[in-house]
Amino acid sequence: MEYTDRFLAIVPDPGAVEVLATGAAFTEGPVYLPDEGCVLFSDIPNDRILRWSESDGMTVWREPCGFANGATLDREGRIIHCEHGTRRVSRTAHDGSVATLADRFGGGRLNSPNDAVVTPDGAIWFTDPPYGICSDEHGLQADSEQAGNLVFRLDPESGSLDVVCDTMEEPNGLAFSPDWSLLYIADSSLADGRGSNRHIMLFDVVEGRRLGDGRVFAVIEPGVPDGLRVDEHGNVWTSAADGVHVIAPDGVKLGRILVPEVTANCAFGGDDDRRDLYMTATTSLYRIRVNVRGAPGPA
């Protein structure tokens, strides 16, 4: 593959993808824990959360885990998980105790929370597509009790949910720009054939708690965009069938990190500089060293 100088400036060695761990069925939800120097990631069909560190290799961190998917950290370093099977957003405290933060809206159960991000005010923004209830493979098959596939903001004060977006077919990964003024949300409805979207939408964030009208930021192929992250310069790093694509804030596609398996998510980590990119791809966890840091704020 040909690489542009602009891409090589941020990914100097695109071929230097390491495989760190393998043996899972479908990996998702990577999150780096700086205090432990490890990565947690979900193995959804096997209903377990795995842990990888340089010293310990791969171990099982939680099993069963409510068919957990996406993960992030809150402002206090507690772990936020989106869970398909239990159809909730949970928080794991430093003592290991687990609390339900959200599992219902408008009188019905959530579909299957997929991915989450925490804003500086402590709110948790998360997506709620149907991937965990449309079969027993990535959750438990069940009917939707919601009017659609919504994106929510969980208020840190009241604990209540507000709908921030009801216009996407199947919202999936999400990430804010470094200054928190923009929100990127992947729509992956093409993946299950119920829709035709394989794009990332871009929204203006209004007063830190609402979204303006969305516009298409980028169409991702092959495959669909699933999980995504933003770096310190505002570049968007999104999963795709062939690896991770890097897109500049102006929408220019800078290049691709090719991964040997269908890739579903990524996260920045590394104790001192957050320049390691961890990538979850089907059976395995991969890593590549890059020249930019993940955007400031929670993972």
Closest distance to Mg ion from the beta carbon of 11 (Å): 22
In whole angstroms, the minimum distance from the beta carbon of 31 to Mg ion comes to 13
Number of residues that bind Mg ion (CB under 5 A): 5
Our CB check for Mg ion shows the closer of 226 and 261 to be: 226
Parallel/antiparallel/unpaired status of strands 124-127 and 284-289: unpaired
Tell me: does residue 115 bind Mg ion (CB under 5 A).
yes
CB closer to Mg ion out of 92 and 112? 112
List binders of Mg ion among 156-175 (CB under 5 A).
172
DSSP string, the chain: ----HHHHHHSS-TT-PEEEE---SSEEEEEEETTTTEEEEEEGGGTEEEEEETTTEEEEEESS-SSEEEEEE-TTSPEEEEETTTTEEEEE-TTS-EEEEE-EETTEE-S----EEE-TTS-EEEE--STTTSSSSSS------SSS--EEEE-TTT--EEEEE---SSEEEEEE-TTSSEEEEEE-GGGGTS----EEEEEEEETTTEEEEEEEEEE--SS----EEEBTT--EEEEETTEEEEE-TTS-EEEEEE-SS-EEEEEEE-TTT--EEEEEETTEEEEEE-SSPBPSS--
Site for Mg ion in 30-89 (CB under 5 A): none
Least separation, in Å, of the C-beta of 217 and Mg ion?
Answer: 17
> From the CB of 117, what's the least distance to Mg ion, in Å?
12
Contacts for 157 with CB less than 8 Å, ≥ 6 apart: none
Q: How far is the CB of 269 from Mg ion (least distance, A)?
A: 18
Looking at the Cβ atoms of 138 and 275, the one nearer to Mg ion is: 138
**Cβ distance to Mg ion smaller for residue 92 or 172:** 172
Stretch that binds Mg ion, among 19-27, 53-61, 111-119, 212-220 (CB under 5 A): 111-119
Stretch that binds Mg ion, among 106-114, 139-147, 189-197, 282-290 (CB under 5 A): 106-114
Query: Per CB under 5 A, which region of 42-50, 53-61, 81-89, 108-116 contacts Mg ion?
Result: 108-116
> 113 or 214, CB closer to Mg ion?
113
Judged by CB under 5 A, the chain residues 213 through 242 that form the site for Mg ion are 226-227
Q: Is 280 in the site for Mg ion (CB under 5 A)?
A: no
Return phi, psi of residue 10, to 5°: -105, -25
Instruction: Quote the least distance from Cβ 297 to Mg ion, whole Å.
Output: 19
* Closest CB 86 distance from Mg ion, rounded Å: 16
Interface contacts to Mg ion, rule CB under 5 A = 114-115, 172, 226-227
